[in-house]
Amino acid sequence: MTDQEHRSPLYEPQTAAGGAVIYEDGWPWFTNFGDAPGEYEAIRNATGLWDLFSAIKYEVTGPDATRLIQRRFTNDLSNVTDGGVRYGAVVNADGNMVDEGNVYKHSNEKYWITINTSGLADWFRETAGGLDATIEERTLEMPLMSATGPGSRDLLQTLTDYDLSSLRYYRFEPTPQQVGGVTATIMRTSFSGELGFEMITDPASAPTLWQALNDAGGRPFGLDAIEIARVEAGLVILGLDYTPGETSPWDVSLDRVIKTDTENVGAEALKAAGANPAKRMKTLTIEGDAVPEAGTAVTKDGAEVGAVTSPVTSPDFGVIALAVLGSGAATDGEKVDVGSSAATVGPLSIHDPEKKKARS
């Protein structure tokens, strides 16, 4: 570990459990615990546990906190109530994505943002002129872990007196609760396409909560398992499915979280691009067992119509991939080719197109 690398508070228990770790830009991510297929099964059929320490967290405070975020955020924050969560992209004035993630509203004067990129506080401040608000990165102070899968609510309920059935999808409880013997903020968000909860606690308490979740029957998983689950669910990743500063949120089909009547600095550019989006993100079901490399061209009748971004082998769907396609080819049922393999265009979430499982 170098001076530029951080260490999760859950590093010791995860390495003791056989976890393999990699560092991306100095931030640790566990890849697997020796059985990625079994870890994937826990996500889909039981309860998987994921250390999200390296998800980057910012805290925004002050009378103009909403406006500071809104000037960069594509979704509309004007009607969010306390305890509400909004997903969206953060963009430049040209409407291109710098990142994407969730905004959590504690009150009119306090928010949390979870995204992928460290060091963006100054970038948010560039468009905060004249506002009475501050933004600070809080990643090291706010360990985050996820319990996700169809069994996650029942498992977590054994560890808290808080009524988890009262917490709706994309809501969180602003008042910290007792969970597994520690104080934690409970959030009804996840990144798997399944029912799930995320929890933020303090660094000293994180190992205790993690152990409680394990003792209750949760199974730790890493990037190898979540990569399959998130591709099946049509969830995008920075650097794989979009390039910061170059990709429009329309290109990756984030239509539902693009609002062009806010004070977002990219609103006009987004409105113009959204009138006739040039690209769409879809799921490809690819024939055969060969998994294409990311970046492989997608063709139709010999002409290039797009490119693969995230390919995987799914236990349920075979070889599939997220792909950014020209709008003319982005129709469900369209037949295309990926390298020498035939493929069929399908909905962005092949696992659960209507996202009923995550809302269950």
What pLDDT, on the 0 to 100 scale, is given for residue 3? 46
In a domain, 91, yes or no: yes
286 and 173 fall within a common domain: no
The residue from 220, 255, 274 where one domain ends is 274
48 and 65 fall within a common domain: no
30 and 161 fall within a common domain: yes
207 and 105 fall within a common domain: no
257 and 185 fall within a common domain: no
In a domain, 108, yes or no: yes
359 and 292 fall within a common domain: yes
In a domain, 157, yes or no: yes
In a domain, 339, yes or no: yes
Walk along the chain (360 residues) in steps of 10 and give the mean pLDDT of each run.
76 97 96 98 98 98 98 98 98 98 98 98 98 98 98 98 98 98 98 98 98 98 98 98 98 98 98 97 98 98 98 98 98 97 97 94
171 and 210 fall within a common domain: yes
**Tokens (6 digits) for 79:** 């009607």
In a domain, 308, yes or no: yes
What pLDDT, on the 0 to 100 scale, is given for residue 5? 87
346 and 328 fall within a common domain: yes
Distance CA 319, CA 291 (A): 6
29 and 156 fall within a common domain: yes
What pLDDT, on the 0 to 100 scale, is given for residue 36? 98
Model confidence pLDDT, tens digit, residues 163-198:
999 999 999 999 999 999 999 999 999 999 999 999
Q: List the CATH number of the domain containing 335.
A: 2.40.30.110
In a domain, 239, yes or no: no
In a domain, 3, yes or no: no
Distance CA 246, CA 304 (A): 20
Please, which contacts does 131-134 make with residues 24 or more away whose CB atoms are closer than 8 Å? 131/62, 131/64, 131/67, 131/68, 132/62, 132/63, 132/64, 133/60, 133/61, 133/62, 133/63, 133/64, 133/65, 133/67, 133/68, 134/60, 134/61, 134/62
187 and 46 fall within a common domain: yes
Distance CA 103, CA 77 (A): 9
In a domain, 304, yes or no: yes
Q: List the CATH number of the domain containing 178.
A: 3.30.1360.120
265 and 282 fall within a common domain: no
How many folded domains does the chain comprise? 3
**Tokens (6 digits) for 162:** 């808080």
44 and 155 fall within a common domain: yes
CB 134 within 8 A of CB 124: no
What pLDDT, on the 0 to 100 scale, is given for residue 196? 98
What pLDDT, on the 0 to 100 scale, is given for residue 2? 47
Model confidence pLDDT, tens digit, residues 228-268:
999 999 999 999 999 999 999 999 999 999 999 999 999 99
What pLDDT, on the 0 to 100 scale, is given for residue 62? 98
Give the domain range for residue 69.
57-123+247-274
**Nearest CA-CA partner of 246 in 279, 223, 224:** 279
**Tokens (6 digits) for 288:** 């055969």
